[in-house]
Amino acid sequence: MNRYDFKFLGITVFCGLLFISCSSDDDDDDLGNWIDRSVFDGSPRSSVSGFTIDNIGYVGVGYDGDDYLNSFWAYNIDGDYWSQKADFPGSARNAAVGFDVDGKGYIGSGYDGLNELNDFYSYDPSSNTWQQIASLPTSSRRSAIAFGINGFGYFGTGFDGDNDRKDFWKYNPNTDSWSELVGFGGDKRREAVTFTIGDKVYLGTGVSNGIYLDDFWEFDSASESWTKKLDLDEEDDYSIVRSNAVAFALNGYGYIACGASSGALGTVWEYNPTNDTWEMKTSFEGTTRQDAIAFSNGSRALVGLGRSGTLYLDDLDEFFPFEEYDDED
């Protein structure tokens, strides 16, 4: 394991997923299919960061087992191809966060092999250029979460080098400024995930003090308030609790996938926000992994990269949650 290469939590970006009463009925067996897509053109890596703008998934930085990285890439979801973009201008790092707001992407925080970081940068895809923005006005952080919604960016949780954190901060791109938010009642954590459905953001998983956390939260972007949902171990047959996973939203459902819990995982869970329940889907078809990346445009979703032990990965798969599994795809 690299020095702190246990996960981003990516944004990530999100291999995460969720559902309706985790049924094991025969009719539900093998629901969900994975199809291979274009292998990542860059070096295999884990703990990358990224965001999705329109039909392009952007991914960069990370760790390849030897070096911290600053290269940056774009995946065309419709065309199924990768292209290299301008390098991330900050120090090479992993375990950073990524989010997008109004057509621009943002990457910041993380770990450079020596220190946790608090600097942030914006990326303009129209000009393929980066610009440094206001740094996070609190302790430097790695393995945090971030998301963009309603014209603002939000950042929270993570590890500051001494302690796990639970504070949250709001970024205003119009004023290039951060302000602290209060009201999150969940536990401190690192390596959690989020996904967004409509005007709600859902946060769960992660680890603190060696304990995998089971609390699950909904953020209302209009009121900027948090509501506790049913725990991730609410039902005896749920096995959602983990860290270093990925998460994404697809066609009105949320998903949590892969991650770590006494070893790398490949399981996938689907969340139904209507009734606050989870259902297990077909596991990720590739190598079980943690510290992967997921990106979704709302109607299509892909998961890839990451690591399994000391094996760093560069494959990419697209997920079709309501198709029957076909191992020939």
11 found inside a domain: no
258: phi then psi, degrees, rounded to nearest 5: 55, -160
Domain span at residue 286 reads 16-320
5 found inside a domain: no
For the chain, the residue count is: 329
Could you give the percent of the chain with pLDDT greater than 90? 89
302 found inside a domain: yes
Supply the pLDDT for residue 17: 34
Supply the pLDDT for residue 327: 82
DSSP strand pairing (293-296 vs 31-37) = unpaired
Q: ∠ CA 65-66-67 to the nearest 5 degrees?
A: 110
Q: Mean pLDDT over residues 207-234, rounded?
A: 97
**Alpha-carbon gap, residue 257 to 264, rounded angstroms:** 11
Q: Which residues of 94-114 are buried (b: 16+ CB within 10 A; e: fewer)?
A: bbbbbbbbeebbbbbbbbbee
232 found inside a domain: yes
Mean pLDDT of the chain: 92
In contact, 212 and 233? CB cutoff 8 Å: no
- Which tens digit of pLDDT belongs to each residue from 127-162? 999 999 999 999 999 999 999 999 999 999 999 999
Nearest to 53 by CA among 128, 3, 119: 128
Supply the pLDDT for residue 199: 97
**Alpha-carbon gap, residue 229 to 239, rounded angstroms:** 16
**Alpha-carbon gap, residue 126 to 68, rounded angstroms:** 27
305 found inside a domain: yes
Q: ∠ CA 291-142-223 to the nearest 5 degrees?
A: 95
What is the number of structural domains in the chain?
1
Q: Does residue 96 surpass a pLDDT of 80?
A: yes
2 found inside a domain: no
CATH classification of the domain holding 120: 2.120.10.80
In contact, 42 and 271? CB cutoff 8 Å: no
310 found inside a domain: yes
- Which tens digit of pLDDT belongs to each residue from 151-198? 999 999 999 999 999 999 999 999 999 999 999 999 999 999 999 999
199 found inside a domain: yes
